[in-house]
Amino acid sequence: MKLYFIRHGQTQYNIERKLQGNTVDSPLTQEGIEGAKKVGERLSNVKFDCIYSSPLKRTLDTTAYIMEKNQYGGKLKPLDGLKEMGFGDWEGKTLASVSDSSEIENLRKYPDKYDPSSFSGESYRDVIKRGKQTVETIVKENPNAKNILVVSHGAYLTSVIQTLVGVPLQDIRKKGILDNTSISILQCEGPNSEFKLLSYNK
């Protein structure tokens, strides 16, 4: 079983360097749309047994652009468990406007020290717990699937993928965050088996 994890296309807030999180959204830019279409072309010959996406519009739109290029098609299932890490009161704000907080440095570089409780955000531990449960449920519910498409978000996918392949919490941001419309592929043999990283941020 292969799981294809895709980060959504570039959005307007990505350009404006605003935090989106799991309640605030912004539309895909033209570059984001083209990036999603290119992913669709790269994966056009892959028959996906299951297609999952975060229910946020930037991921739903990305998924639609990907699948319109796929020769097999398929039915999309949105999952709340695939939403982006929540940034609480920071959502919709620019990174510059919260740069005085020590937590912005922890968010980027020190996941084990990141404490978003003062602005009602979601910790790395929380998002990893949610993400692992979601991915493990996807695998459990589709034991005979060969290829599964999962479209989600940067901080979420970076945290969950790194954790699933055994990277400790303090190191999950050392490679940075996944690029927009990047493809990362994990392989597993089914429920309760280990995940193997085949491709990352390509």
Catalytic annotation, residues = 8, 84
Q: Which among 168, 174, 161 is positioned nearest to 135, based on CA atoms?
A: 161
User: HSE (CB half, 13 Å, CA atoms) of 31?
Assistant: 8
The answer to whether the CB of 159 falls within 8 A of the CB of 128 is yes
- Do residues 36 and 65 touch, judged by C-beta distance below 8 A? yes
Name which of 199, 195, 165 is nearest 184 in CA terms. Answer: 199
Strand partners, 76: 51
> Strand pairing of 147-152 and 2-7?
parallel
